[in-house]
Amino acid sequence: MEEHLAHGALWTIKEGFTYPNEYIYWTIHIVVYPYITGLVAGAFVLSSMYHVFGKTELKPVAKFSLVFSFALLLMATSPLMLHLTHPLNSINMILTPHFYSAIAAFTVVYLTYMAIVLAEIWFVFRPFIIEQAKEKKGLLGLIYNAMTLGSYDVSEKALETDHKIVRILAAVGIPAAAFLHGYVGFIFGSVKTVPLWKTPLMPFIFLMSAIISGVAGCVVTYILGMSLKGNFICGATIRSMCKVLVWFLVAAIVLEGIDIVFHAYTAEEFWSIMSELLFQRFAFKMLVVQWLLGMILPLILLLLPRLSMLRAFISAMLVLIGVFTMRWDVVIGGQSMSKSLGGFLTYNMPIIPRSMETFLEGPIPITGLLLMPLLLLFIFNKVLPVFTEVFNEEDCGFTEGLLSKKDHVNH
């Protein structure tokens, strides 16, 4: 008789009483999925800071974070595809969506957001695209010509229109980005059988962690990209990004803290198993990595006076690791508590690929997936350069001067 292993049996270790059909069904892909969407939302919000709120010191990263957001957005669906047992059927999501399901609206939300981001990129880069289309020959010329969508109008009036539309799109994009990720939070928050997920705070918790990861991702990638090109990085820009990071870090700490305090205080039926999860089984991942290293330490590092580039980089890296661990703790931790409340399921990711299933569930596709947005950014940068010196040292000094004057006035 042919032996079939249950889906999930390969990586789930059961302890105590768990239901016979109970496995960790949502694995590493579902950890990476909210992580990437979070980065998308965060990066977009950062780019809007310049366009909507007129933060001039963020001008150097405005284009970069927009294109980075798009590169990440392109990869956002791939972890989902990898996790489906019938990836070819995924088109049914568009064919027969069932909107009572929290995930059915994903295609709509995703495509709407994609349209906004693409349109904004087009309007932002239009003068550059047209210039290149006229200059470049061969394949690159063809690409640029296609990207103009047939319009070569760079009159003053047209550029004025572009500017207005970019402001509108950036403004509309903020709620859209917030919705995209708040919605991911809702997908988890509405699962009534998993006590760790089921909280109305979930969309907001996810949103805050999304923004901190997105901004941190931009800090890290921007510093890396510019350094690799040997370009000048304006300190005022980085400090301004870090300021955004600090505010949202505080919000994230407050929201996630309230959530745990509430569970502990109300101590419902599931609290005994949940406290075992938080303070024993996931204590290192949750308390040490997610809270101390991922939120508290970077907050302190960023708040200490005379923020250096290196310190900003390290803090942002810590935030990135912290948010990834948070996604892991939420997704895997939530499923680790047996729904019988009388047992635990431990997730053991298959490291060595022995079959197609273990390969897909293993670290190789996931590493590829996490590196893909960087590769895409590298490619996009060839067509739409984002790692350029928008500010030279003089501009930067001027901006810093402006900022310190503003601070002076405020005090």
Partner 1 sequence: MSLSRRELLKMGFLAVCGAVIPLSALQILTPEAAASLIRPYSEKKRWAFVVDTTKCVGCGMCVKACKLENEIPFNTDVQRTWVERYVQLKDGDVLIDSPQGARHGFTKNDPQGKEVNEAEIAKGFFVPKLCNQCEKPSCVQVCPVGATYKTDDGVVLVDKNWCIGCGYCINNCPYLARFFNPITNSADKCTFCYHRITKGMNTACMDACAFGARKIGMLNDPASELAKIISTERVSVLKPEYGNEPQVFYIGLDSIVR
Partner 2 sequence: MSHAWRPVFVVLAVIVAILVMRMILVPHDFAAKNGDYKYQWHRLSAETTSKDFTVKYKGKEFCQQCHPDLVDKINASGHQNIQCENCHVMVESAKKSHPIDLKGDFGYLLDIGIDRSRELCKRCHAELSYRPQTYVMTKGTVKETVKFKQIDPTKHNAGIECVMCHDVHTAGFKAAGK
Return the number of the residue (1 or 139) whose C-beta is nearest partner 2: 1
Is residue 119 part of the contact set for partner 2 (CB under 8 A)? yes
Q: Which stretch binds partner 2 (CB under 8 A): 59-67, 118-126, 182-190, 375-383?
A: 118-126
Among 1, 88, 139, 351, binds partner 2 (CB under 8 A): 1
Q: Which of 46, 106, 114 is nearest to 74 (CA)?
A: 114
Both tokens assigned to 302:
């960023």
Is residue 131 part of the contact set for partner 2 (CB under 8 A)? no
Return the number of the residue (224 or 267) whose C-beta is nearest partner 1: 267
In the region spanning residues 103 to 122, those forming contacts with partner 1, defined by CB under 8 A, are: 103-104, 106
Among 21, 85, 138, 150, binds partner 2 (CB under 8 A): 150
Is residue 341 part of the contact set for partner 1 (CB under 8 A)? yes
* DSSP-derived 3-state class of residue 174: helix
43: Cβ–Cβ under 8 A, 6 or more apart, which residues?
65, 66, 68, 69, 72, 214, 215, 217, 218
Is residue 349 part of the contact set for partner 1 (CB under 8 A)? no
Rg of the chain taking only CA atoms, in angstroms: 23
Among 10, 102, 143, 158, binds partner 1 (CB under 8 A): 102
Tell me the closest approach of the beta carbon of residue 311 to partner 1, in angstroms. Answer: 41
Helix axes 156-189, 309-336, angle to 10 degrees: 40
Tell me the closest approach of the beta carbon of residue 149 to partner 2, in angstroms. Answer: 4
In the region spanning residues 36 to 95, those forming contacts with partner 2, defined by CB under 8 A, are: 91, 94-95
Give yes or no for a contact between 24 and 147, defined as CB atoms under 8 angstroms apart.
Answer: no
Q: What amino acid is encoded at 137 in this protein?
A: K
Is residue 26 part of the contact set for partner 1 (CB under 8 A)? yes
356: Cβ–Cβ under 8 A, 6 or more apart, which residues?
none
328 Cα distance to chain centroid: 14
Tell me the closest approach of the beta carbon of residue 163 to partner 2, in angstroms. Answer: 11
In the region spanning residues 194 to 213, those forming contacts with partner 1, defined by CB under 8 A, are: 194
Tell me the closest approach of the beta carbon of residue 357 to partner 1, in angstroms. Answer: 10
Return the number of the residue (186 or 291) whose C-beta is nearest partner 2: 186
* DSSP-derived 3-state class of residue 12: strand
Q: Which does 115 bind (CB under 5 to 8 A by kind): partner 2, partner 1, none?
A: partner 2
Give yes or no for a contact between 133 and 147, defined as CB atoms under 8 angstroms apart.
Answer: yes
Return the number of the residue (148 or 358) whose C-beta is nearest partner 2: 148
Give yes or no for a contact between 148 and 106, defined as CB atoms under 8 angstroms apart.
Answer: no
CA–CA distance, 110 with 286 (Å, rounded to integer): 30
Matching residue, tokens 């579902």: 30
Element (H, E) at 345: strand 342-347
Give yes or no for a contact between 377 and 229, defined as CB atoms under 8 angstroms apart.
Answer: no
Return the number of the residue (94 or 402) whose C-beta is nearest partner 2: 94
CA–CA distance, 298 with 12 (Å, rounded to integer): 33
Q: Which residues bind partner 1 (CB under 8 A)?
A: 1-9, 16-17, 19-23, 25-26, 80, 83-87, 89-90, 92-93, 95-98, 100-104, 106, 190-194, 335, 339-342
Residues lying near partner 2 in the complex (CB under 8 A): 1, 91, 94-96, 98-100, 111, 115, 118-119, 122-123, 126, 149-151, 153, 158, 161-162, 165
